[in-house]
Copies of this chain bind each other. A is one copy, B any other.
Amino acid sequence: MSLLVVGSLAIDTIETPFGKVENVLGGSATYISIAASYFVTPVRLVGVVGGDFKKEYIKFLEDREIDLEGLQIIQDGKTFRWGGRYHYDLNVRDTLFTDLNVFQHFNPVIPASFKKTTYVCLGNIDPILQRNVLEQIEKPRLVVGDTMNFWITGKNSELKKTLKLLDVIILNEAEARELTNEPNLIRAGKAIMELGPRIVVIKKGEHGALLITANTIFSAPAYPLENIYDPTGAGDSFAGGFIGWIAKTDDISDDNLKRAVVHGSTLASFCVERFSLDRFKDLTYFEILDRFREFREISKFDEG
Q: How far is the CA of A300 from the CA of B295 in the complex (A)?
A: 11
Residues on B with C-beta less than 8 A from A219 are 208, 221-222, 224, 298-299
Q: State how many angstroms separate the Cβ of A86 from the closest Cβ of chain B.
A: 11
Contact segment of A105-113, A253-261, A276-284: A253-261
Is A194 part of the contact surface with B, judged by Cβ < 8 Å? no
Is A207 part of the contact surface with B, judged by Cβ < 8 Å? yes
Is A302 part of the contact surface with B, judged by Cβ < 8 Å? yes
Given A90-B183, A91-B183, A183-B89, decide whether A258 and B301 contact each other with a Cβ distance below 8 A: yes
Residues on B with C-beta less than 8 A from A217 are 224, 298
Is A156 part of the contact surface with B, judged by Cβ < 8 Å? no
Copies per complex of this chain: 2
Contact segment of A46-54, A163-171, A184-192: A184-192
Is A226 part of the contact surface with B, judged by Cβ < 8 Å? yes
Q: How far is the CA of A255 from the CA of B297 in the complex (A)?
A: 11
Given A89-B183, A90-B183, A183-B91, decide whether A301 and B224 contact each other with a Cβ distance below 8 A: no
Is A56 part of the contact surface with B, judged by Cβ < 8 Å? no
Query: When each residue 223-242 of chain A gets 1 if its CB lies under 8 Å from chain B and 0 otherwise, what string results?
Result: 01110100000000000000
Is A35 part of the contact surface with B, judged by Cβ < 8 Å? no
Is A303 part of the contact surface with B, judged by Cβ < 8 Å? yes
Is A287 part of the contact surface with B, judged by Cβ < 8 Å? no
Residues on B with C-beta less than 8 A from A296 are 301, 303
Is A206 part of the contact surface with B, judged by Cβ < 8 Å? yes
Question: In the complex, which residue of chain B has the Cβ closest to the Cβ of A90?
Answer: B183
Is A88 part of the contact surface with B, judged by Cβ < 8 Å? yes
Partner of A183, one of B88, B262, B300, B303: B88
Is A293 part of the contact surface with B, judged by Cβ < 8 Å? yes
Q: How far is the CA of A91 from the CA of B255 in the complex (A)?
A: 31
Task: Name 18 extra pairs, CB < 8 A, besides A259-B301, A259-B304.
Answer: A88-B183, A184-B226, A186-B225, A207-B207, A208-B219, A210-B224, A217-B298, A218-B301, A221-B221, A249-B304, A251-B304, A255-B302, A255-B304, A256-B304, A259-B302, A292-B303, A293-B303, A296-B303
Which residues of A are at the interface with B, using a C-beta cutoff of 8 A?
88-91, 183-187, 190, 204, 206-208, 210, 217-222, 224-226, 228, 249, 251, 255-256, 258-259, 262, 292-293, 296, 298-304
Listed by A's residue number, 18 A-B pairs whose Cβ atoms lie within 8 Å are A184-B206, A184-B225, A184-B228, A185-B206, A186-B226, A187-B226, A204-B207, A207-B207, A218-B298, A219-B222, A219-B299, A220-B301, A221-B221, A221-B299, A256-B304, A259-B302, A296-B301, A296-B303
The 10 closest A-B pairs by CB, nearest first: A219-B221, A89-B183, A207-B207, A258-B301, A186-B224, A217-B224, A186-B226, A259-B304, A299-B299, A187-B226
